[in-house]
């Protein structure tokens, strides 16, 4: 059974013990405002892991028979709402599965295929909303449980200011099968709080956008939360709390939409994360089930 959901009053910001929130931060005449965006199903129309199915298989990182045998039972819940225990079992499985993958190979594949694969998946509404926040002088932050090696290049493509994502331990240039940081649940909100402290963001004046009830901590930590394409759990929470609910349904190529001077985010080769493992472990099935057996 999943843990009970903590209820906050509409507009209330969540706080975390031992962390300075915007309420106690020193007074600033012009506080900085950030807009935090989840990635999958919020900014792009499908899983960022699923998007790289074909090139990862082509490079021999995914074995069809072994992946199907070990992960098909978990695929359905991943594509729908998953409770905490299910997510934790998945995390343990995929981090072990990607042990030994070469980091440089992953980064090269993502870099070479990013624009062809991901650019057509970006919601036009998300691109417009990002542009609106930038026009208002807000920083834009992409924050995701997927791996930094995929999220960072996507963030650079979108022209955002900061990226926070999951990171996996690397030993001798290969995944060690252990997470250094899992950007999920409370940890995602804590990453936002830490960034706000270092960058001087006023969280009570900042914005957050997500599709999943597992991102309640992320939404609760800001003054302006919004549900985007929400799952059933988040839709109920948003309705109960009076949060805006948006529907994004127009994925279009970004060509011509992004500003020329894109700000570099985090070097994809510097860190790695769970998104690639999730890709390899789970999500190439949807493509290969439509192909004949070898």
Lowest mean pLDDT of 182-186, 226-230, 255-259, name the range: 255-259
Per the annotation, the verdict on 240 as an active-site residue is no
pTM of the complete model beyond 0.75 = no
Question: Does position 23 have pLDDT exceeding 60, yes or no?
Answer: no
Looking at residue 51, what is its pLDDT?
A: 74
Question: Does position 183 have pLDDT exceeding 70, yes or no?
Answer: yes
Looking at residue 124, what is its pLDDT?
A: 95
Tens digit of each residue's pLDDT (9 = 90 or more) over 24-39: 334 445 789 999 999 9
Q: Which residue among the candidates 38, 211, 215, 231 is catalytic per the annotation?
A: 38
Q: Band the pLDDT of 277: cuts 50, 70, 90.
A: very low
Per the annotation, the verdict on 249 as an active-site residue is no
Alpha helices in the chain (DSSP H): 48-51, 53-58, 64-79, 84-97, 103-117, 124-135, 148-158, 186-199, 216-220, 232-241, 274-278, 285-288
Which residues make beta-bridge pairs with 36? 141, 208
Among the listed residues 162, 158, 139, the one whose alpha carbon sits nearest the alpha carbon of residue 254: 158
Question: Does position 294 have pLDDT exceeding 50, yes or no?
Answer: no
Looking at residue 234, what is its pLDDT?
A: 95
Looking at residue 189, what is its pLDDT?
A: 98
Rg (CA), the chain: 19
| Domains assigned to the chain | 30-287 (3.40.50.1000)
Q: Band the pLDDT of 78: cuts 50, 70, 90.
A: very low
Looking at residue 261, what is its pLDDT?
A: 34
Tens digit of each residue's pLDDT (9 = 90 or more) over 50-74: 677 778 778 887 766 544 544 443 4
State the average pLDDT over residues 156-181.
92
Instruction: Classify strands 162-171 and 174-181 as parallel, antiparallel or unpaired.
Output: antiparallel
Spatial separation of the C-alpha atoms in residues 81 and 84, rounded to whole Å: 10
Q: What is the mean pLDDT of the chain?
A: 75
Question: Does position 18 have pLDDT exceeding 60, yes or no?
Answer: no
The percentage of residues in the chain with a pLDDT greater than 90, rounded to a whole number, is: 46
């Amino acid at each position: 059974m999943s843990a009970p959901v903590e209820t906050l009053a509409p507009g209330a910001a969540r706080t975390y013990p031992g962390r300075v929130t915007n309420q106690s931060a020193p007074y600033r005449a012009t506080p900085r405002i950030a807009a935090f965006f989840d990635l999958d199903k919020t900014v792009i129309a499908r899983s960022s892991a699923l998007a790289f199915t074909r090139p990862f298989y082509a490079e021999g990182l995914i074995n069809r028979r072994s992946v199907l045998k070990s992960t098909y039972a978990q695929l359905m819940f991943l594509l729908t709402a998953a409770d905490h225990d299910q997510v934790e079992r998945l995390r343990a499985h995929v981090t072990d599965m990607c042990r030994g993958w070469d980091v440089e190979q992953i980064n090269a594949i993502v870099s070479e295929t990013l624009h062809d694969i991901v650019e057509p998946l970006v919601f036009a509404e998300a691109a417009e909303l990002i542009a609106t926040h930038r026009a208002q002088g807000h920083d834009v932050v992409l924050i995701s449980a997927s791996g930094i090696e995929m999220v960072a290049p996507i963030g650079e493509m979108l022209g955002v200011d900061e990226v926070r994502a999951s990171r996996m331990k690397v030993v001798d240039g290969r995944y060690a099968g252990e997470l250094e940081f899992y950007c999920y649940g409370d940890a995602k909100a804590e990453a936002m709080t830490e960034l706000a402290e270092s960058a001087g963001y006023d969280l009570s004046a900042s914005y957050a956008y997500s599709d999943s009830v597992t991102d309640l901590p992320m939404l609760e930590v800001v003054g302006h939360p919004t549900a985007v394409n929400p799952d059933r759990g988040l839709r109920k929470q948003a309705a109960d709390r009076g949060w805006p609910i948006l529907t994004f349904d127009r994925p279009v190529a970004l060509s011509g939409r992004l500003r020329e001077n894109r700000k570099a985010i985090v070097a994809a080769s510097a860190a790695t994360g769970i998104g690639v493992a999730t890709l390899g472990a789970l999500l190439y099935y949807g493509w290969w089930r439509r192909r004949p057996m070898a």
